[in-house]
Chain A
Amino acid sequence: MEALDPLLTRLRAALPEAQVAIELNPAVPAQSSLVVDRDQAVTVARWLRDDPQLRLDYCSNVTGVDWLETTSTEKVRVRRVVDGAEQEVEESVERRQPGYLEVVYHLYSMALGHGPLVLRQRTRNRVDDTRVASLTPVWRSAEFQEREVFDLFGVRFAGHPDLRRILMWEEFEDYPMRKDYVEPDDYEHEPTPHDAVLVKARRH
């Protein structure tokens, strides 16, 4: 598949109004991703699917990621990483933001046999404006997976045909995969508690 930079140039030429940026991935696979604004997400997705050089007709994976706000505990972790490793860590950029939910799409082309291209959408914050555009109209495979992201992360997909909870029951009110989720306290005695369980055990 063509590299992301020329792809982005072509994309900007085809869709001048689209706000798309490249997000670098510092890990070994270096699979960088495209971050697209939610307002143009559907147009960009259609273009990616229909462009003859790309033909990303197959959306494999849809998932949510919860990025928390900056907290003092996180700053400790940053210092440790910087001491141990030699490179800049990507979180340090995002740390200035007030926390957001992210939806990640992994796109492949079955027709041309290449991929993946990673597409990201971000919500404005984690609390009240958690909308992104649903890509189910473009790739049907996102239907259940977006429902799952809605269920577990609380991302609202505008344009999804049937946005209901899928894994938890309908009456459930929380979003359990978020990082700040507190699960119900049904502690049970354990003979050898340790770590988090020990903290829980001391409370009982």
Chain B
Amino acid sequence: MIEPMQTPGVWEILTLRGGHNTTVVLVGALLLGVAAGVVGVFAMLRRRSLVADAVGHATLPGICVAFLIANAMGVEARSLAVLLPGAAVGAVLGLLAIQWMTRATRLTEDAAIGAVLSVWFGVGVVMLSAIQGMDIGNQGGLKSFIFGQTATMSERDARLMGGVALLSIVAVLVMFKQLRLVAFNDDFAASIGVRVALVDGGLMALVVMVSVAGLQAVGMLLIVALLIIPPAAARFWTDRLGLLALLSGVIGGAAASIGALVSARMDRMPAGPAIVLVAGVFFVVGMVAAPRRGVGAGVLRHLGVRVRVHADHTLSRLRLPGPHHVASVMPSGVIGRLVRLVLARRGWIRSEGSMVALTDAGEAAAVLAERRRRLWQRYLVRYADVAPSHVDISADAIEHVIDPVIVATLEAELAAESSAGSGA
């Protein structure tokens, strides 16, 4: 059954000339990654990612029991046809235990998940050592379920994995509308007659299917990573659910196939960690580089706000009677240099040596900025109950954010106030 795989070069594998077996394993891993990415999106949006972790761990006792039963009955105990159903039963029992604990006791879900995850896995490890102590042949492969090993996968195993993965992808496509509705707003879904428990059950069934299918290739400890990391990485790049699912599937597929390739190439390298590492690279790249949602974009945005606010302040200081020394009207350091750069670029200031002054255009801009600030202050006072969510003091124009009718009212008030002020 287990034939040691000859180790073809990376290039040969990539061009599908690395032998039939390798190609099948690679395609199987690819499908598994896509399925995990797509299913994982909904697990993430429904906040079930940790449950998926418990599912993975909970398969171990199921596998051991299935192995023992099959062995006692004299069936080929290493066969996946025996072990995978056992894994699925173990996972489902774990899920039911989590559900029952959160309903019947006052435990919160995270505590229930933690308890089930560790107890099930602990039982599994104890059983595994017991099995290793017994005089049963052909048990060596059991351990590979923990970290995954693509190098020992047979073609039949890979076909099974790919088939289950394909099935789960189709199931997600069929249930897409319902999954989205329930994940976004379960109460509303229930009110229009969607059976929320059924949809959630379907999602959990998909998580179990993917986890069990991936046991051999990725291993039970890290299969959860394939369900969590690709969706999280893809989320940095898009706000569209369809695109998110697609992107997550692509990242999952890429991570799984690259990782599987590495593991197939190096005999001692378990596939799970290799796959997770590749997925992790995608995640880090997204986290750092993604526009809008990435960390880098956040830093830039924050810098932009600071420069805008300081530029406004600088303009109003420059309106005071001069002459003005740079150090007295502008902040020091990087921000100050940026402010000076921005204002000079727009032609709002001119500087001679260490002295600065407003240009005519700068004078006009300063007046506008002042008006804006006054309007916002007035708005905050007048509409204190709703204001904070709208306020953007240095936005280009208050009219872009606030209802024009309100702006007109505020302006009329300001005008009345300033004419009363000049009269007094």
The answer to whether A binds B is no
Residues of chain B touching chain A, judged by Cβ–Cβ distance below 8 Å, are: none
Seen from chain A, the residues whose Cβ lies within 8 Å of a Cβ on chain B are: none
